[in-house]
Amino acid sequence: MEQILSYDKQLFKFINSTLSNNFFDWLMPWLRNSTMWVPLYLFLILFATLNFKKNAWWWIIFAVCTVICTDFLSSAIIKNNILRLRPCNDPSLVSYINVLVGYRPQSSSFTSSHAANHFGQAMFIYLTLKKHFGKWPLIFFIWAFSISFAQVYVGVHFPLDILGGALVGIFIGYLCGKQFNKTTV
């Protein structure tokens, strides 16, 4: 396990320090900001209302349930039982780290709730919209990855935190997406 955590720190240093540049320093804090994505969320609600008609509220309820479940599992269960310092609070990284957010979260680093929530939404959206748009909803996985990558770049998560959150999100998103498809057939 020590070797895996060592590789995780090395990959963190590469993403957070080696890849550091002015454009990413501007983009990444903005990309991970939840309020930046409100127009997308509103568009998805409008889209669901127009396309799912009588099932639109079910789609919205299942989408919200996906986030509630991923966030609860990641934040309330996993983070409270697997205590890991965030990179921005890790004394062994103080000379390497580039923290690009105005605060240093004190909660446990593992898992990333941003990753869990966004990968959960990506999976839910993919499963519920693929019959309408083919493979186009896969783009939401790029969206989730970008937000998750930004979490590492700004210094608040390790790559393994992202992987753990992504797996939680994909699992919950899969369950919610399949249940929505079964419920609304």
Q: What is the pLDDT of residues 13-53, one digit of tens each?
A: 999 999 999 999 999 999 998 888 999 899 988 988 888 88
In a domain, 10, yes or no: no
The count of domains in the chain is 1
Mean pLDDT value across the chain: 92
More confident residue, 153 or 55: 153
User: What is the predicted pLDDT for the residue at 170?
Assistant: 98
Residue 11 maps to a domain = no
For residue 1, tell me if it sits in a domain.
Answer: no
12 assigned to some structural domain: no
For residues 19 and 29, what is the distance between their CA atoms, to the nearest angstrom? 15
Structural domain contains residue 3 = no
Which string of b and e fits 107-139 if b means at least 16 CB within 10 Å? ebbbbbbbbbbbbbbbbbbbbbbeeeeeeebee
Tokens of 163: 């992987």
Residue 163 lies in a domain: yes
Task: Tell me the whole-structure pTM to 2 decimals.
Answer: 0.92
Residue 167 located in a structural domain: yes
The residue that leads in pLDDT, 178 or 134, is 178
Select the highest-mean-pLDDT range: 29-33, 54-58, 91-95, 169-173.
Answer: 169-173
Q: Which domain holds residue 37?
A: 21-183
5 is a domain residue: no
Residue 185 has pLDDT above 70, yes or no: no
Nearest Cα residue to 75 out of 120, 40, 108: 108
